[in-house]
Amino acid sequence: MNQKAIIETHNLSKTYGNQVAVDDLTFSIEEGEIFGFLGPNGSGKTTTLLMLLGLTEPTRGWARVAGFNPTKEAIKVKKIVGYIPENIGFYDDMNAIENLLFIARLNNIPDSVSSPKIKDALERVGLKDEAEKKLGAYSRGMRQRLGIAEIYLKDPRIVFLDEPTLGLDPDGTTKIIEYIQSLSTDKNMTIFLSSHDLKQVQKISNRIGIMINGQMIAVGPIEKLAKEKLGVEDKAISLDDVYMKYFQEVSP
Ligand SMILES: Nc1ncnc2c1ncn2[C@@H]1O[C@H](COP(=O)(O)OP(=O)(O)OP(=O)(O)O)[C@@H](O)[C@H]1O
Ligand SMILES: [Mg+2]
C-alpha cells in the first residue's frame, strides 16, 4: 500500500450486465495533487468517480479514500469529500444564500457559523451580486460557481469534479479553472478532475490519467507521457497531441 496515497484503487471494476464500465483499475493519488482524469465518452470516468464516492458499489476490487472504504464507510467518505457532479442540482426556488444555508443545516452547521462562511464563499466565486437571485434564474456558469462556493463552505480534503466546465463560455471556463486551482493552492485540497477540456486540464494538473474502455492506459505527468509517446521534451507540447497519440494506438 502506498503510504502517501489519499486515493488508492486495486483492480477496481464495475460491470453493468454485460457492459464492462471499469476494468481492473489500479492507481493512486497523493494528497494535494491535481489529477486530470481524461478519456472519451463512455470510458468509465463517471463510474470510477461514483465508486470512489461510495455512490455505487464495485463489482470487484477495492478503493480507499483517505483510508476509508467508500462502500463500507460511505458516510465517513462523504464527510471529507466534496463533489460537483455532471449536472449540479440546487433548489431553483431558493436563492444562492438559502441554498447554501440549507446544505449547511443538513450538515448540522449552525447558521451563526455558516452565514459568514457563505458570504465569504459567494464573494470568492464572484456571486456576491447574484446572492439573492433565485437559482431558477441562474446560468450554467453561475451554477458551477455556486458549486465551487459549496466546496469552500464544506472545506473538504478531496474534491471530485465531473466535467465542471462543460457548456461554459471561455471566460466562465477560465474562472472555474482558476477557482479549482485556488482550492489546491490556498487550501491544499486534493483535486480529482474529470474533463474533456484538455487545454484547461493541462494548465492545472500535476498528473493525468487516460481512460479508454474502462482501463487507465496511461498515467503520469504530461511531460513524462509526451517524452514516452512522442519522444519530445518540449515543455510547450500540447496535451491534445499526447492524448491523440494514445487514443489512436488503442482505436486505430
Ligand atoms: N447506470 C448504468 N447502467 C448501465 N450502464 C451504465 C450505467 N452507467 C454507465 N454505464 C455504462 O458504463 C460505461 C461507462 O460509462 P461512464 O458514464 O462511466 O463513462 P464516462 O467516461 O463518464 O463518459 P462521458 O465522458 O460521456 O461522461 C458506458 O458504456 C455506459 O453506457
Ligand atoms: Mg461521465
| 139 Cβ below 6 A of ligand 1 | no
User: In whole angstroms, what is the distance from residue 210 CA to residue 43 CA?
Assistant: 9
CB-count burial class (<10 Å; 0-12, 13-18, 19+) for 136: exposed
Q: Looking at residue 23, what is its pLDDT?
A: 97
Write down the pTM of the prediction.
Answer: 0.94
Q: Looking at residue 177, what is its pLDDT?
A: 96
pLDDT average, residue stretch 132-142 = 95
Q: Which residue has the cell 467518505?
A: 77
The rounded Å distance from CA 14 to ligand 1 centre is 10
Q: Looking at residue 229, what is its pLDDT?
A: 83
Cβ(130)–Cβ(159) below 8 Å: no
* Ligand 1 nearest-atom number relative to CA 44: 18
Percentage of the chain modeled with pLDDT above 90: 87
| 19 Cβ below 6 A of ligand 1 | yes
Task: State whether residue 65 is helix, strand or coil.
Answer: strand
Q: For ligand 1, atom 3, name the residue with the nearest CA.
A: 16
- CATH superfamily assigned to domain 5-250: P-loop containing nucleotide triphosphate hydrolases (3.40.50.300)
pLDDT tens string 59-110: 999 999 999 999 999 999 999 999 999 888 899 999 999 999 999 998 889 9
Nearest to 26 by CA among 56, 51, 62, 52: 62
Instruction: Return the domain boundaries, the chain.
Output: 5-250
Cβ(63)–Cβ(8) below 8 Å: yes
pLDDT average, residue stretch 130-138 = 96
Determine the residue of 43, 56, 162 to mutate for testing ligand 1's pocket, defined as the one with the most ligand atoms within 8 A of the Cβ atom. 43
Determine the residue of 13, 37, 46 to mutate for testing ligand 1's pocket, defined as the one with the most ligand atoms within 8 A of the Cβ atom. 46
User: In whole angstroms, what is the distance from residue 35 CA to residue 101 CA?
Assistant: 30
pLDDT tens string 44-53: 999 999 999 9
